[in-house]
Copies of this chain bind each other. A is one copy, B any other.
Amino acid sequence: MRIGELADRAGTTTRALRYYESLGLLPPAARTGNGYRSYGEEHLRMLEQIRSLQDFGFGLEETRPFVECLRAGHASGDACEGSLEVYRRKLAELDACVARLQEVRASVAAQLARAELASGLREPMCELGRDTAAPAGSPAEALAGPSGGAAAGEPSVPTRGHPRDDPDHP
């Protein structure tokens, strides 16, 4: 099997395969006389393993134990201890990540509620507004909390367009 067919069958691109090879992650079985890469069915299984882990947010390096486990002849990529360790580390990372995101969520929700309340007080300004609530200072103080604070990025972990998910290209 040549590179294009493997890429098609796995729903990825030749560029990705060459990239994986450059990392030593998925070297072809051999080269044919004309220099073409030659792959077998086992490479398709490794590729599927890589891609399913990537869909879960694993980095390419984290997929390496799984791929090598398959290459070692195991029926499943997670039949080896190295793969299990990656699973466990990822679980811990996910837990930490979720915890931080929920902290951040709570803080943002509190800020929004406070700000909405404040703007609501100014806008209707009904006559029974003599005791101006929320005289407390600017949000900067409230926000300037512990520097151990967490930052949650955009949904970088969540799913994003893989070539197979997005089959329209210019």
Q: Please give the residue numbers on chain A whose beta carbons come within 8 Å of chain B beta carbons, in ascending order.
A: 45, 48-49, 52-57, 59, 75-79, 81, 83-84, 87-102, 104-105, 107-109, 111-112, 115-116, 118-119, 138-140, 142-144, 146-160, 164-165
In the complex, the count of this chain's copies comes to: 2
Report whether A107 and B152 are in contact in the complex, using a CB–CB cutoff of 8 Å.
no
Report whether B138 and A75 are in contact in the complex, using a CB–CB cutoff of 8 Å.
yes
Docked Cα-Cα span, A168 to B34, in Å, equals 54
CB distance from A102 to the nearest CB of B (A): 6
| A150 partner residues in chain B, CB cutoff 8 A | 55-57, 92-93, 95-96, 158-159
Report whether B79 and A118 are in contact in the complex, using a CB–CB cutoff of 8 Å.
yes
Report whether B78 and A159 are in contact in the complex, using a CB–CB cutoff of 8 Å.
no
Report whether A157 and B159 are in contact in the complex, using a CB–CB cutoff of 8 Å.
no
Q: A87-B111, A91-B105, A147-B165 are in contact. List 15 more A-B contacts (CB 8 A).
A: A49-B139, A52-B139, A53-B143, A56-B143, A56-B152, A75-B138, A76-B139, A77-B140, A84-B116, A87-B108, A88-B143, A98-B105, A150-B158, A152-B157, A152-B159
| A95 partner residues in chain B, CB cutoff 8 A | 105, 146-147, 150
Given A139-B84, A144-B48 in contact, is the A153-B101 Cβ separation under 8 Å?
A: no
